[in-house]
Amino acid sequence: MKEKSTNTAIRITPSEKEYLEKKSKEMGMTFTDLLKTGATMIASFDPVFWKKIETFSRNLGVKEYLVLQSLAISWMARREAEAKVWGDEAESILPEFMFTENGPVTGEELHKNLKGNFIREFESDKENQLNLESQYGALSEEDAKWLKRRFEKYNQAKEAQKQAIKNRERGLKEKL
């Protein structure tokens, strides 16, 4: 059964109403649907996410919609560039959309996962860049230390992997 509608009044200036009516027509929506969609969209955002958008908006001196639009355009351009370099199959892989048995991962959990992925990606890029630079000259002390710590982590991981293989082999022999 369809839920009964109710009327709600909002106060806007005549120029705001004219602008919103024009935009609703451009988007093929009714004025009411435009207002409901916009209000529902903002109300559905994760509160931590919305605070970040408001902070960007305030710091940049632009409206929130421009922050969101610019971020979305940046994301789309990156996806298209990635598909151009890696092939169309890259277009179908969207790490931003992770699912669990409870549905999509969103909010802070998604932010944490994506941030971790980006850190690994940027660390790899930095490592490649520093290795290239080191072939043509000396690195700064800070970069040399960073690269040294990176290789130490690799060596630790390699040793842990060797130990895991030994433990697995030892466990298999004991079972026989």
Q: pLDDT tier at 90 (50, 70, 90 boundaries)?
A: low
Phi and psi of 87, rounded to 5°?
105, 165
Is the same domain home to 153 and 175?
yes
Overall average pLDDT of the 88-106 stretch: 79
For residue 150, is it within any domain?
yes
Overall average pLDDT of the 95-116 stretch: 87
For residue 161, is it within any domain?
yes
* Total residue count of the chain as it appears in this document: 176
For residue 128, is it within any domain?
yes
Residues in CB range of 143: below 8 A, 6 or more apart: 130, 133
For residue 159, is it within any domain?
yes
Q: Domain span at residue 175?
A: 144-176
How many domains in the chain? Answer: 2
pLDDT score for 105: 87
